[in-house]
Amino acid sequence: MNYFNYRNGILHAEEVSLDRLADDVGTPFYCYSTAILKHNFQILQDAVSDLDTIICFSIKANSNIAVIKTLATYGAGADVVSEGELRRAITAGIPSERIVFSGVGKTRRELEFAVDNNILQINVESESELEDLNAVALARGSFVKIGLRINPDINVNTHEKITTGRKENKFGIEWPRNLQILRNINDLPNIEVVSIAIHIGSQLTDLQFFRDSFKYLRNFVLMLRDEGIFIKRLDLGGGLGISYDDSTTIPTPVDYVEIIRENLGDLGCHLILEPGRMLVADAGLLVSRVIHVKQGTTRNFIICDAAMNDLVRPAMYEAYHEILPVIKPAVGHKKCLTDVVGPICESSDTFAKQRLLPPFVRNDLLVFVTTGAYGSSMASTYNSRQLIPEVLVKKNQFSIVRTRPTYENMLMMESFPPWL
């Protein structure tokens, strides 16, 4: 279901026209649809209704507290990978007992903060981290519940930079070290392993990879039971892909959950799902304005006011995002091959190469579609550019849920040393 549609020739987010938003907010900016967030969450929630499951939104996909709170109102918990994300989850009203702390490089301070907040579980990814966590638990007199993240050495068909389940990746603990840790866990009296965690990568569009990883997890759990080790929860991570260009058949959340049910549904374990992209990607647009149209001898360029610091996925992952005009072109318009680029002094600041697009002129508005995941959350201030606003729409209402900082505010964060 799509809540971004043309009405009277103008692209709308639900019932709010994007040209009006551009005038009120200024470009570039991100725009999110409440209706799509609700729709995406509801589909997954309905699919797991017969399973003992908690859905923990992976905050790294979109860390805006209004987006997090919106999903929380529908029942989402949170999967966090830093103290900052944990603080955002708490600020957005997610109860501590619905928060999972993942990540391969948690600091002692982050572990202390997580223990102090008594979250659902901390996913441990190395023996060194386990030692740190045990020391924190002993110092605080706390009893800490953890998930042990295993590395199944499964190679998936996704971008190399977002695969996480191979031995060559930094994530999880390999066999047989994970088994040895579980055998010796009684040596750590303040630690209880309540969960086995697994996550093999992001933007996965072939269910066979999930089937392989869940079979691996099932066999591991059964082997542990044979040794007298009983696990209460299974953390299945996330990774289900979405469509960016309609060229690939994408499994539905219902298809994905059926794989879970077939392989893990009879184990009697509480299940944790950690979706990110599938909940928020198609709920977001990046709205930008054309600064210049540049005619070259071999290329035509549209130079817009959004840049790679605002949306880094094309530069970092060669990612595709559909580009649409805010004002619908006239019937019979002629498209031409165009490069769409930003103003940053990097050749990598390119959103599209030789894309067949309708004609654009200066000051026209365009949107980059499906940018609700890993757009704003990966943004930077490279070239001393301001972080851009984020707007949340609900029916005919909109609210700026992150403001554009002033240059003065940006400079106030820095200072001269005494010798200058």
Cα–Cα distance, 319 to 159 (Å, whole number): 10
DSSP 257-314: HHHHHHHHTTS--EEEE---HHHHGGGEEEEEEEEEEEE-SS-EEEEES--TTT--HH
Active site annotation includes 345 = yes
Beta carbons of 203 and 210 less than 8 angstroms apart: no
Q: 17: buried, middle or exposed (CB in 10 Å: 19+, 13-18, 0-12)?
A: middle
Cα–Cα distance, 344 to 238 (Å, whole number): 33
Cα–Cα distance, 190 to 268 (Å, whole number): 25
The DSSP output letter for 12 is: E
Beta carbons of 288 and 27 less than 8 angstroms apart: yes
Question: Which alpha helices (DSSP H) does 105-199 contain, by range?
Answer: 108-116, 127-140, 177-183
Cα–Cα distance, 39 to 14 (Å, whole number): 13
Which bin fits 169, alpha (ψ -120 to 50), beta or left (φ > 0)?
Answer: beta
Query: Within the chain, what is the greatest distance between any pair of CA atoms?
Result: 74
Cα–Cα distance, 400 to 391 (Å, whole number): 4
SS3 state of residue 121: strand
Q: What is the CA radius of gyration of the chain?
A: 23
Residue type for position 64:
N
So which residues are the catalytic ones?
345
